[in-house]
Amino acid sequence: MSKKAEKVVIIGSGCSGLTAALYTARAQLEPIVLTGAMPGGLLTTTSIVENFPGWPEGIDGTELMINLQQQAERFGAQVKFGSKVESVDLSSRPFNLIVDGDEMKAQTLIVATGAGHRHLGLESEKKFDKKGVTYCATCDGALPMFRDQPLVVVGGGDSACEEATYLTRFASKVYLIHRRDELRASKVMAERALANEKIEPVWNSEITEILGGAEEMVSGVSLKNNKNGKESKLDCAGVFIAIGHTPNTQIFQGQLDMDDSGYILRDEGSRTNVEGVFVAGDCSDNVYRQAITASGMGCAAGIDAERLLASENQ
């Protein structure tokens, strides 16, 4: 027997996915939220979120996401934790999804799959993953192996500045390695990082190798100055990589239109090239990438899905 089609299936449970869930739940569409491997999305790897409107003292990233999840559930959203979408077939409606080996059908689909951490692409980065190489200071910074040790943060954006500043709580010193001589980060974050006595910026420099010591743990990095070609080494116990993100859109390749970097294209609202598929958040936003803009896009996608279903049921 063919399965009943859900009215709304949302892939992703960050700010965009859960806000879409809130809106479609309030429209009594009983949305299903498939969280993927990271319930709550990337915000759960942040400490205090200081720029989400309505929280004058800031709010812990995980707490914000739990609040948002509970708010959506209160109106009937069903959040399926850990569920992984293996493939999608968007060639006809209802759409077919394979979720943890089972088939699921969806009249409308909201893609809110977010973005994952970008990698340096070094072999030694893979080799020392979780042995001193990490992509999340708030997750790993307090580990005993990093306490009172010199640490390296790579990148020049808000994430790198935020992580470097956070790590000064534990580290003896933090080297902020950036490939240019000017930070990309917002003024407030950049100034906060550069004013911190424990942070030493290393300009115009790229990591060429992550070095290991005893017990195959990180012991340092080799650097190359890309202005004068000079090579050097820094001792450190950890390498925190904060060089941006890649959209999680691989399973939609060939079905949804994307730009060259894999961000899903949409019209002025949330509509994609496939009718009934809407998109929200970082998987479609290479410009703002903020919690509040992701939430706004999730709201728009929820409303767009609701309006499409209402127009079809008239």
The DSSP bridge partners found for residue 174 are 151, 199
| H-run or E-run covering 234 | strand 231-235
C-alpha radius of gyration, the chain, whole number:
21
CB closer to ligand NAP out of 172 and 290: 290
Per CB under 6 A, contacts with ligand NAP among 134-173 are 154-160, 162
When the beta carbons of 164 and 256 are compared against ligand NAP, the nearer one is 164
Burial of 54 (0-12, 13-18, 19+ CB in 10 A): exposed
| 170-199 footprint of ligand NAP as x/- string (CB under 6 A) | ---------xx---x-x-------------
Helix axes 187-195, 158-167, angle to 10 degrees: 30
Query: Is there binding between residue 224 and ligand NAP (CB under 6 A)?
Result: no
**243 belongs to the binding site for ligand NAP (CB under 6 A):** yes
- Dihedral angle sign, alpha carbons of residues 159, 161, 165, 171: positive
Catalytic site includes residue 140: yes
Whether 129 sits among the annotated catalytic residues: the reply is: no
Q: Which of 76, 116, 212, 244 binds ligand NAP (CB under 6 A)?
A: 244
Q: In Å, how far are 113, 132, 243, 303, 311 from 34, measured between CA atoms?
A: 10, 31, 27, 19, 25
From the candidates 139, 148, 181, 257, give the one annotated as an active-site residue.
Answer: 139
Nearer Cβ to ligand NAP (118/131): 118
Window 58-117: residues binding ligand NAP (CB under 6 A):
none
Q: Tokens for 251? A: 């399973």
Considering only residues 284-303, where is the footprint of ligand NAP by CB under 6 A? Answer: 289
* Coil, strand or helix at 22: helix
Catalytic residue among 15, 140, 283, 304: 140
CB-nearest residue to ligand NAP: 157
Q: How far is CA 267 from the centre of its chain?
A: 22
Q: Is 136 a catalytic residue?
A: yes
Binding site for ligand NAP (CB under 6 A): 51, 118, 120, 154-160, 162, 179-180, 184, 186, 206, 242-245, 289
